Amino acid sequence: GAVVSQHPSRVICKSGTSVKIECRSLDFQATTMFWYRQFPKQSLMLMATSNEGSKATYEQGVEKDKFLINHASLTLSTLTVTSAHPEDSSFYICSATPLAGVWNEQFFGPGTRLTVL
Amino acid sequence: QQQVKQSPQSLIVQKGGISIINCAYENTAFDYFPWYQQFPGKGPALLIAIRPDVSEKKEGRFTISFNKSAKQFSLHIMDSQPGDSATYFCAAPSGNTGKLIFGQGTTLQVKP
């Protein structure tokens, strides 16, 4: 149980294009989904917190117009990197907290490797 | 803002040995402290978690020890195996938002 999927697993795009990453909780409904970014050999940096039907809450320093988050249902959240540039290249990981689970418990997706040329 | 300090940054252990990773957190009234395991190119996987109403929790070869007064908790991996070679992250709650703040990570290498 508690499986989270992400799609795509890997994406390469040209500078200036937009990329959408999907995060789905496959066998549970999620109260909250989180988006992280991780650089090589570094820890996870929380970008934003998203609840179904609400606007996402972004962490300080994260550009909300750059990283658009849509939380359409209790099982799906999307992150769109708009007008991507090489510095946006990173490993993006989502997580989800089950509706019927332990507060603060987060299950992670497998991650999406974004490379912007 | 919650801060979590994790040590050591890297650890090399012989097969069959005990791996110990430590975390320290700041003031918190919340009650959930997890450890995650991450392999290269993969997302973190929840390994084990503890609530501070107990001082220790064991699942198989993995044990969390919790010291509430010192605001510290540690992960012990008994009989470490080469397959345990990964990066381990501790985390602590931040506020009442469901957010977790992660430690800096510990890269464990278990030598055969």
User: Residues A69-104: pLDDT tens digits?
Assistant: 999 899 999 999 999 999 999 999 999 999 887 778
User: Is A6–B43 a contact, with Cβ atoms under 8 angstroms apart?
Assistant: yes
Q: According to the model, what pLDDT value does residue B28 have?
A: 67
Residue B41 burial class via C-beta count within 10 angstroms: exposed 0-12, middle 13-18, buried 19 and up: exposed
Nearest chain A residue (CA) to B95: A104
Whether B44 shows a pLDDT value over 90: the answer reads yes
Report how far residue B100's alpha carbon sits from residue B34's, in angstroms, rounded to the nearest whole number. Answer: 9
Taking a C-beta distance cutoff of 8 angstroms, is the pair A92, A112 a contact? yes
* Å between A6 CA and nearest CA of chain B: 10
Report how far residue A55's alpha carbon sits from residue A24's, in angstroms, rounded to the nearest whole number. Answer: 18
User: Is B98–A110 a contact, with Cβ atoms under 8 angstroms apart?
Assistant: no
Taking a C-beta distance cutoff of 8 angstroms, is the pair B46, A107 a contact? yes
Q: According to the model, what pLDDT value does residue B90 have?
A: 97
Give CA separation, A15 vs A39, A84, A89, A114, B104, in Å.
19, 5, 10, 12, 30
Whether B2 shows a pLDDT value over 80: the answer reads no
Expressed in angstroms, the distance from the first to the final Cα of chain A is: 37
**Strand A10-13 and strand A112-116: pairing?**
parallel
Nearest chain A residue (CA) to B6: A43
Identity of the residue in A42, A57, A104 whose CB atom sits nearest the CB atom of B30 = A104
pLDDT tens digit sequence for B62-107? 999 998 889 999 999 999 999 999 999 999 988 777 899 999 999 9
* Å between B38 CA and nearest CA of chain A: 10
User: Is A104–B98 a contact, with Cβ atoms under 8 angstroms apart?
Assistant: yes
Which among A95, A106, A112 is the top mutation candidate for probing chain B, defined by the most B β-carbons within 10 Å of its own β-carbon? A106
> Which CATH number is B1-45+81-112's, of 2.60.40.10, 1.10.1060.10, 3.20.20.70, 3.40.50.300?
2.60.40.10
Q: Parse chain B into domains and list their residue ranges.
A: 1-45+81-112
Nearest to A43 by CA among B9, B106, B104, B45: B104
Percentage of chain B lying above the pLDDT 70 cut: 96
* Å between B108 CA and nearest CA of chain A: 12
User: Is A93–B43 a contact, with Cβ atoms under 8 angstroms apart?
Assistant: yes
User: Is B98–A31 a contact, with Cβ atoms under 8 angstroms apart?
Assistant: yes
Tokens read off for B20: 């110990």
pLDDT tens digit sequence for A5-36? 999 999 999 999 999 999 999 999 998 999 99
